[in-house]
Structure 1
Amino acid sequence: MKVFRLILLILHVGILFLLLGTLLNAYVPPKIFPWFNLLSLGFPFLMISYVVLTFFWIFSWKKRAFVFMLLGLFFLNPVKRWINYSSDPKETADLKIVSFNTRGGIMGVEEINKYLGTLGADVILLQENPGDGFDMKGYEKKNNGGGITVLTKYKIISWKIIEPSSGDSRIPGTQTDIEIRGKIYRFINVYLHPFKFEKEMVKLNGNTDADEEKVKNIVGRLIPTFKKHQDQIAVIRDAVENSPYPVILSGDFNSVPNSYEYYHLSEGLEDAFFTVGKGSATSFHDYKFPIRIDYVFSSKSITPISYKVDRSVDISDHYPVIATFSLQK
């Protein structure tokens, strides 16, 4: 039994160090060391394993349980970026936005039109534009021609593409300055470089050689994409930091919470789910494991009121994200 407990202790300490590695994404960019960012993908499974082992020590009446419980507090905020149970705010919402990757409308443009039309959102930010046949009456629309679209019931003051960094042909986002009730706000619609995985590419089938090759291919796609994200984040941050207006930044980051992308895109902004979200923030549902890659962030002067991942519709491989705010602060 002592040998078994020693093995579990070594495993528990190892998991602890891996979890601590995910926190280093706030400081270490992928171009220097991409493996910390890779760890962020496994955060839910690492955290579950850590909690299970902590309970094992509790039920075993081992003093080390208190050490692991205390160290587990470091991961309270990272966990809340995946699963959260916040209290209801007292303020009243006066702005409703939707962020939605529509998968190019391949699951039905008419259904997307109909669904978005029922929401009554003030601003709609789309990634992978639905394409031909997409029309929202009563909204002013801007599209970059590359799949990023903004629609709003309010007056657009200015709109521009956030230029990609040198050597990158993919547009990482757009910025739209919108006048709402006499005040201007900057909406940044983000679509970071996708990994372009298909289900079969990430599904392990028990064949050792084939699975090993798949894992190599997965890592071979992930790490170069992390490095591209670093360049894309740099130009998006310029749009945030140089904004003379309060900012709402949302979209498909193709990155999970606790990643380099999350830490740096959220810098100086407030994660609406972290503040007012309830339940799971999982927004990409094409795979069976939990993935949150869609976000809504805002300046501190904008108060988040509610955040919802709408799982009632299945018209894309992403669920729509609906957030409301109070602009009265």
Structure 2
Amino acid sequence: MKIVRLIFLIAHLGILFLLLGTLLNAYVPPKVYPWFNLLSLGFPVLIIAYVVLTVFWVFNWKKRAIVFIALGFLFVNPVKRWVNYSSENREASDLKIISLNAKGGVLGIKNIEDYINAQNPDIVLMQEHVRDYNFEGLGKGKGDPIISIFSKYKIIDQKELIESNSETNNAYANQTDIEIKGNTYRFINVYLQPFKFEKNMVKLKGNSDEDEQKVKDIVKRLIPTFKMHQEQVAAVRKGIDESPYPVILVGDFNSVPNSYEYYHLGKGLKDAFVESGRGSATSFHDYKFPIRIDYVFTSQSIQPLSYKVDRSVRISDHYPVIATFKLKK
């Protein structure tokens, strides 16, 4: 039994150090050391293993359980970025938005249109929209084939922050200044460089040689993309930092919580899910593994009232994200 406990202790300490590595994404950019960003992908598995081993020490009446419980508080906020249970806010909202990666409308343009129209949002931000859409009462802003914005309110100005310029750079971002009830707000719609994985590329089959090669191929795609994201994040941050207006940052970051992209795009902003979300924030459902890559962030002056990942529909490989806000008078 002592040997088993020793093995568990070593494993627990190893998991702790890996989890601490995910926190370093707030400080270490991918171009310096991309492996911390790689760790963020495994955060759900790591934190579950950490909790299970902590419970093991508790039931074995070991003092080390106290140490692991205390250290576990370091990961409360990182966990809330995946799973959260905010109290319900019944305050009347001033603004309702929907964010959706539409996957090019391959699951039906009319399905998307019917869904959006039934929700009656004030503003819709789409990624991978590709096709033309007709939403009731919403005017379309200038856009490109990948990202677009539709608004009930007057669009004052628009500007590209990231523009795809080659076959290898497929990231997009733009800022749209919109006048809402006498005040101007900057909406930034983001679609960071995709990894372009297909299911067969990531599904392991139990063949050691074939699976080993698949893992190597996955890492070869991940690391360069992380480094591209660093440059793209810097371009988006410029639109945020130079904004004279409150900002609502929305989009498909193609990055999970606790990643470099999450920490640096969200710096100084509120994560609407952490502020007002309930349940799981997992938004990409094409894989069985829990993945949150769709986000809504706001300036401090904007109060998120609700955040919902709508799992009742499958109109894309992403679930729609619906958020409501109280705007500063």
Q: TM-score, normalised by structure 1?
A: 0.97
1:142 aligns with 2:141: yes
Please show how residues 236-255 of structure 1 align to structure 2 within 5 Å.
236-255=236-255
Tell me by how many angstroms 1:21 deviates.
Answer: 0.1
Partner residue, 2:27: 27
SS in structure 2 of the partner of residue 38 of structure 1: helix
Aligned residues: 328
User: Distance between the aligned counterparts of 1:130 and 1:53, measured in 2?
Assistant: 47
**8 Å CA contact retained: 1:161, 1:174:** yes
Gaps of 5+ in 1: none
User: Distance between the aligned counterparts of 2:250 and 2:162, measured in 1?
Assistant: 17
165-174 or 55-64: which moved more? 165-174
User: Distance between the aligned counterparts of 1:55 and 1:201, measured in 2?
Assistant: 35
Letter in 1 for 2:50: Y
Q: Deviations over 1:153-200 (max 9, x none)?
A: 000000111144998743430100000001000000000000010111
Letter in 1 for 2:138: Y
**8 Å CA contact retained: 2:96, 2:324:** yes
- Decide whether aligned partners of structure 1 residues 110 and 80 sit closer, same or farther in structure 2, where only a CA change above 3 A counts: same
SS in structure 2 of the partner of residue 284 of structure 1: coil
Please show how residues 1-329 of structure 1 align to structure 2 within 5 Å.
1-89=1-89, 91-132=91-132, 134-164=133-163, 169-328=169-328
**8 Å CA contact retained: 2:170, 2:194:** no
Question: How much identity, in percent, do the aligned residues show?
Answer: 65
**8 Å CA contact retained: 2:285, 2:317:** yes
User: Distance between the aligned counterparts of 1:165 and 1:109, measured in 2?
Assistant: 24
**8 Å CA contact retained: 1:310, 1:319:** yes
User: Distance between the aligned counterparts of 1:166 and 1:307, measured in 2?
Assistant: 34
User: Distance between the aligned counterparts of 1:325 and 1:300, measured in 2?
Assistant: 12
**8 Å CA contact retained: 2:101, 2:127:** yes
Q: Deviations over 1:239-264 (max 9, x none)?
A: 00000000000100000000000000
Letter in 2 for 1:149: S
User: Distance between the aligned counterparts of 2:142 and 2:328, measured in 1?
Assistant: 29
Q: Deviations over 1:120-169 (max 9, x none)?
A: 1001000001404x212321102422310100000000011114499874
Tell me how large the CA RMSD over aligned residues is.
Answer: 1.4
- Decide whether aligned partners of structure 1 residues 169 and 58 sit closer, same or farther in structure 2, where only a CA change above 3 A counts: closer
Runs of 4+ more than 4 Å apart = 164-169
User: Distance between the aligned counterparts of 2:162 and 2:43, measured in 1?
Assistant: 32
- Decide whether aligned partners of structure 1 residues 213 and 143 sit closer, same or farther in structure 2, where only a CA change above 3 A counts: farther
**8 Å CA contact retained: 1:101, 1:316:** yes
Tell me by how many angstroms 1:119 deviates.
Answer: 0.8
User: Distance between the aligned counterparts of 1:137 and 1:323, measured in 2?
Assistant: 19
**8 Å CA contact retained: 1:101, 1:128:** yes
Tell me by how many angstroms 1:94 deviates.
Answer: 1.1
User: Distance between the aligned counterparts of 1:109 and 1:145, measured in 2?
Assistant: 17
**8 Å CA contact retained: 1:162, 1:171:** no
User: Distance between the aligned counterparts of 2:217 and 2:142, measured in 1?
Assistant: 33
User: Distance between the aligned counterparts of 1:165 and 1:32, measured in 2?
Assistant: 24
Letter in 1 for 2:145: G
Q: Deviations over 1:279-310 (max 9, x none)?
A: 00000000001000000000000000000000
User: Distance between the aligned counterparts of 2:320 and 2:309, measured in 1?
Assistant: 6
User: Distance between the aligned counterparts of 1:43 and 1:228, measured in 2?
Assistant: 22
Gaps of 5+ in 2: none
